[in-house]
Amino acid sequence: MKKILYLVVMILLSGCTIEPIKPWERDILARDNMALDADPMLQLMDEQIYYSKEAASGGKGIGGGGCGCN
């Protein structure tokens, strides 16, 4: 776990300092399919299903649940 966190922090730091992009270079990142949650309705259903069928839930956002799922 510590190794994963270390790796992520290193990537974050490299992103901050090595290749900063300008506002006019954000065309790719601005596309709908590059959004953090590109399919919110599919995500909503997935969270409901896996919340009902597995012991772990959450992580991507906050909240959830709200059912006595069988």
Contact residues for other proteins, defined by CB under 8 A: 1, 4-5, 8, 11-12, 14-16, 19-21, 23-31, 33-34, 36, 38-39, 41-42, 44-45, 48-50, 53-68, 70
Shortest distance in whole angstroms from residue 51 CB to other proteins? 10
**What's the token pair of residue 20?**
């900063």
Q: How far apart are CA 10 and CA 16, in angstroms?
A: 10
Here the contacts of 44-47 (C-beta below 8 Å, separation 24 or greater) are none
Provide, rounded to whole angstroms, the least separation between the CB of residue 70 and other proteins: 4
Best CA proximity match to 57, nearest among 67, 48, 69: 48
